[in-house]
Amino acid sequence: MTLPTLQPIARYPIPEPRYPTLLWTFPPNASILRLPMSEQIPSKPHRGGFRHFFFRGLAIVLPTALTIWLLVVAYQFVAETIATPINAGIRWVVLRSSPWPIASNEDFDTIFEQLPATQKEQWATQSEYLVGTPSERLERRRLWMQQEPPLVEAARRVAIERWWDGVTVGTWRILDLIGLMVAIVLIYFVGVLLTSYVGRRLYARGEEMVNRIPLLRRVYPSIKQVTDFFFPGEDKALQFSRVVAVEYPRKGLWSVGLVTGTTMRRIEDRAGVSCLTVFVPSSPTPFTGYVITVPKADTIDLPITIEDAMKFAISGGVVVPLNQRIAGDPADLPRPRTQTDACTNA
């Protein structure tokens, strides 16, 4: 069998084959399949390649970077506002309940530099201070400080803080996690206590006392409503976990909102129907938005979670829950054909 010979096309030159004995060739009069002009995909200019790949890489890296940043900020907030006071209390208990740690001479020297000028003058006016060499005067000063209980306690505090900060992994102080762990355990036990009958009674009595304080009674109820919305209890889980669609800000425009509860009695009596209070989050900051009251019949229950609704708002409607995607959604459409695909199919 004689193999046909391949004639190169002037417009699409074919490079020299690496294995010429394994290639099929075609005669000069062979017909070549070409795509119609309407299906030919123009090549993108090379100058836009950097911008395309840069924004594509940014879209991949930015969510991870922002997540790490938020975790770091949250950890720093908890460490400074909750864990730091707890760690200070733990060190205070250790100093009060045990003779450890014993302050060293360096700790007493550090305390002496922090003393007020009056106490330094009290030591300087003693006759023993002017006798002997500088090292002997230093030893006498340390002995004098060891006989003063307030100075001994201050030096021990410096010693335990130095030991506390010395247990590190790189620049991270490991012992600071003790306060964080203690806070988590305390919050857990508070939750367990409040689920009991006695705990609920004590909590109700404490709320009554807070509501009697002139300033706190104006701030506490608002803050409690916000925390109850984001951390609902078992009795409010269904009430605060509904996602609905409402026609807002006018008929024909639908918005995704979160049901926060029923409305005020005066509004419902005037409307004559059962109404709901709906929080419509704004985009891309869903923690701000609008609170509206709509008839219950004018809402559409959406089978999605609050997290899905928040993602929908933050992304500007780009991130649609999987169970709510419509056939033909841009995310489900096949990608556009490229020159590589056209040549491969040919």
- Average pLDDT of the chain, as a whole number: 80
Q: State which residues form the domain around 247.
A: 237-324
Question: From CA 266, how far away is CA 277, in angstroms rounded?
Answer: 13
User: Rounded to 5 degrees, what angle do the CA atoms 39, 45, 50 make?
Assistant: 125
Rg value, the chain, Cα? 37
Q: Which of these ranges, 40-44, 91-95, 155-159, 217-221, has the smallest mean pLDDT?
A: 40-44
**Mean pLDDT over residues 152-172, rounded?**
91
Model confidence over 25-35: pLDDT tens digits?
A: 555 555 555 55
**Mean pLDDT over residues 137-151, rounded?**
86
**Is the predicted pLDDT of residue 23 greater than 50, yes or no?**
no
pLDDT of residue 343: 46
Q: Tell whether 258 is covered by a domain.
A: yes
- More confident: 327 or 103: 103
**Domain CATH code at residue 276:** 2.30.30
Q: Which of these ranges, 215-229, 248-262, 267-281, has the smallest mean pLDDT?
A: 215-229
**Is the predicted pLDDT of residue 342 greater than 50, yes or no?**
no
Q: Tell whether 299 is covered by a domain.
A: yes
pLDDT band at 334 (very low <50, low <70, confident <90, very high): low
Q: Tell whether 279 is covered by a domain.
A: yes
pTM of the model as a whole: 0.55
Structural domain count of the chain = 1
**Is the predicted pLDDT of residue 113 greater than 70, yes or no?**
yes
Q: Tell whether 260 is covered by a domain.
A: yes
Question: From CA 115, how far away is CA 134, in angstroms rounded?
Answer: 20
Burial class (CB in 10 A: 0-12, 13-18, 19+), 148: middle
Q: Tell whether 180 is covered by a domain.
A: no
pLDDT of residue 143: 87
pLDDT of residue 296: 93
pLDDT of residue 117: 80
pLDDT band at 16 (very low <50, low <70, confident <90, very high): low
Model confidence over 49-73: pLDDT tens digits?
A: 888 888 889 888 988 999 999 999 9
Q: Tell whether 313 is covered by a domain.
A: yes
Q: Tell whether 116 is covered by a domain.
A: no
Q: Tell whether 251 is covered by a domain.
A: yes
pLDDT of residue 231: 72
pLDDT band at 148 (very low <50, low <70, confident <90, very high): confident
Model confidence over 219-234: pLDDT tens digits?
A: 888 888 777 766 766 6
Burial class (CB in 10 A: 0-12, 13-18, 19+), 83: buried
Q: Which of these ranges, 10-24, 170-184, 232-246, 265-279, has the smallest mean pLDDT?
A: 10-24
Q: In this structure, are residues 277 and 257 in contact, taking their beta carbons and an 8 Å threshold? A: no
